[in-house]
Structure 1
Amino acid sequence: MPDVLPPNLPLAIPPRAPLLDVHGLKKAFGGMIAIQNVDLRIAEGSVHAIIGPNGAGKTTAFNCITAFVQPTAGTIYLGGERIDGLPAHVVARHGVARTYQNVRLFPNMTALENVLVGQHRRLHATFWEAILGSGRFRREEAEARARAHHYLAFVGIPQRAGDLARHMPYGDQRRLEIARALVAGPRILMLDEPAAGMNPAEGRALVELIERIRTELGVTVVLIEHHMRVVMAVAERITVFNRGAILTEGTPGEIQADERVIEAYLGRRSGQIAAPAASPEPQRQMEARIA
Structure 2
Amino acid sequence: MFEGFTSHTVAVGNDIEIAAVAGGSGPPLLLLHGYPETRACWRRIAPALAERFTVVAADLRGYGASSKPPGGGGHAAYSKRAMAADQVALMRALGHERFRLAGHDRGGRVAHRAALDHPEAVERLAVLDICPTATMYAATDKAFATAYYHWFFLIQPADLPERMIVNNTHDYIRRTIASWCKTEGAFDEAILRHYVEAFFDPAAIHAACEDYRAAASIDLIHDAESDAAGARIAAPLLALWGSRGVVGRQFDVLATWREKSAASVTGHAVDCGHFLPEEAPEATLKALLDFF
TM-score of the aligned structures, taking structure 1 as reference length: 0.24
TM-score of the aligned structures, taking structure 2 as reference length: 0.24
